[in-house]
A and B are shown apart, each in its own frame.
Chain A
Amino acid sequence: MRWLDVGQIDDMGRMNSPIHHLDARAKLIVTLAFIVVVMSFDRYAISALTPFFLFLAVLIAAARLPMAPLLRKLLLAAPFAVLVGAFNPFFDHQPVLQIGGWTISGGWISFTNILLRFVLTVGAALVLLATTGMYRLCAALEQLGVPPIFVTQLLFLYRYLFVISDEGAQMVRSVRMRSGVRGLSFREYGGLVGHLLMRSLDRAERVHQAMLTRGFDGNIRRLDSRRFGLSDALFLIFCLSVFIVARSWNLAEHLGRLLN
């Protein structure tokens, strides 16, 4: 169940570190820039991506984030990345690299590239969430001009994840207690999913009623947010500069040449 604990990363957002104290807008822009830059690399790029791993590692260390929960969440999403790139080695046989007696085809390189980019982009998103929290992140989106209706939807989508996961966990517990040695059939699982949906809808209706009784009118008003300060601006400028340098020059290759 710890794998599916959706609140764990959000809880980390309440930790205390210099990265946590930065304005959410600065972290959001840096993360988006990081993702765009990483995705802009050629599909055979491997060594050029290594400085971005270093950047992410420095950020995780500075934020004092525990690695295990981040890795668990990363692994949870990994099958999607594997599925996207798994067929590359079958279609792209063009040899691009010779290591010892082994010839490595373009398919394997592009598959590795997809996995590396997956780790970097999803890792960056997780670090953003773990150093900011969903709530501050949504506030930052609104401050950056995203229409409130989308931000509210996002916030509640996230909130309902907890509702549905709680309802689901209760149902699974109940099923385990009563299903005995015989497992459930697909038909029974189908019924459970339908039931979960109905329970979640009922819950959503009650939450909405609770919101209305407390004056909700379609827009979420929030307590005063932080101001964008000098440290936030410096963090933003520094990170964007690092990305520009790492995108313009293959730092790993230059370092290798230098050492040789």
Chain B
Amino acid sequence: MSTPAIEVKNLRYAYPDGTQALRDVSFAIQQGEAVGLVGANGAGKSTLLLHLTGSLRPAQGEIWIMGEQLLPKTKKAVRSRVGLVFQDPDDQLFMPTVEEDVAFGPLHGGCSSEEVERRVAVALEKVGMTRQRARPPYRLSAGEKRAVAIATVLSMSPDALLMDEPSTHLDPRSRRRLIEWLRSYSKARVIATHDLELVVEVCSRVIVLSDGEIVADGPTQTVLNDEPLMLAHGLERPHILLHHHPHDH
């Protein structure tokens, strides 16, 4: 079996006020796998994603990205292999033009000018934002901002893509486009979301977090069809599954 894209072992984290945010979290995500990370508000989804990029330091436990442990001295190298798309694109888009924003990651990763140019062109092409290249990000629509935010991460060619609530503020067409794009992406994906319909369409596996603990980890259809489990952790069985038999695939 190949090296997992992401491996988390016994991760624990508490906020400065003492609130336990993650309790003994362990899982492994294989290369190319798409995993939905679901849970009620405050379950620890965003906190977990921030740990995977080294933005938060665990109180205990280990994080491995493509076989390399995430430590203070390896943080920079590991970050270049994991791309996090933030919940709010306005947090992610801080440069004066779309092009500069998409180029930010490769430039800081030490790529040559030619390579940066190539990556920017490819990333913008993939999300359909080539024509917006010279525009300032703050002038874009919510869907366009989301697409550019994804491009800023794609240009870094990460081995694992992390997304925090990717479908928030998107209109149905933009959401559909995002789903199609996520389905076609071949690298590991971790999608933290309340949009369970999106999870059903994109992810083959689901991890359910509740109060910082993993309460379920398994095939999407099986986990999301478990109504008592969903209700017990502040979730609902998604509508898309209500008309399907749990064993239909």
Contact = CB atoms under 8 A, between A and B. Distances in A.
A153 interface: no
A11 B76 CA distance: 34
Contacts of B107: 221-223
Interface in A197-214: 203, 206-207, 209-214
Contacts of A223: 99-100, 103, 107, 113, 116-117
A212 B78 CA distance: 12
B105 interface: yes
Nearest to A14: B134
Contact of B94 (A10, A207, A213): A207
Nearest to B105: A214
Interface string A125-142: 000000001110000000
Contacts of A162: 138
Interface string A143-157: 000000000000010
A229 interface: no
A203 B86 CA distance: 12
Contacts of A7: 136, 138-139
Nearest to A167: B90
B80 interface: yes
A100 interface: no
Contacts of A133: 96
A238 B95 CA distance: 34
Given A162-B138, A210-B92, A214-B156, A224 B105 contact: no
Interface residues of A, number: 28
A221 B134 CA distance: 18
Nearest to A203: B91
Interface string B77-99: 00110111010101110111101
A135 B55 contact: no
A159 interface: yes
Interface string A221-260: 1111000000000000000000000000000000000000
Contacts of B139: 7, 11
Contacts of A206: 86, 88, 91
A215 B100 contact: no
Interface string B99-120: 1100111011100010011000
Given A7-B138, A223-B99, A215 B80 contact: yes
Contacts of B84: 210, 213
Contacts of B116: 223
Residue of A11, A206, A213 most packed against chain B (CB within 10 A): A213
Contacts of A135: 95-97, 100
A134 B96 contact: yes
Most B Cβ at <10 Å: residue of A135, A163, A222, A223: A223
B96 A213 contact: no
B167 interface: no
A166 interface: yes
A217 interface: yes
Contacts of B97: 135
Contacts of B153: 214
Contacts of B92: 207, 210
Contacts of B55: 209, 212-213
Contacts of B105: 214-215
A211 to B, nearest CB: 7
A216 interface: yes
Contacts of A224: 113
Those 9 A-B pairs whose CB atoms lie nearest each other, nearest first = A215-B108, A135-B96, A214-B105, A206-B91, A221-B107, A210-B92, A213-B53, A209-B55, A213-B84
Given A135-B95, A215-B80, A217-B76, 8 more contacts: A10-B96, A11-B136, A14-B134, A203-B90, A210-B86, A212-B79, A213-B55, A215-B105
Interface of A: 7, 10-11, 14, 133-135, 156, 159, 162-163, 166, 203, 206-207, 209-217, 221-224
Interface of B: 50, 53-55, 76, 79-80, 82-84, 86, 88, 90-92, 94-97, 99-100, 103-105, 107-109, 113, 116-117, 134, 136, 138-139, 152-153, 156
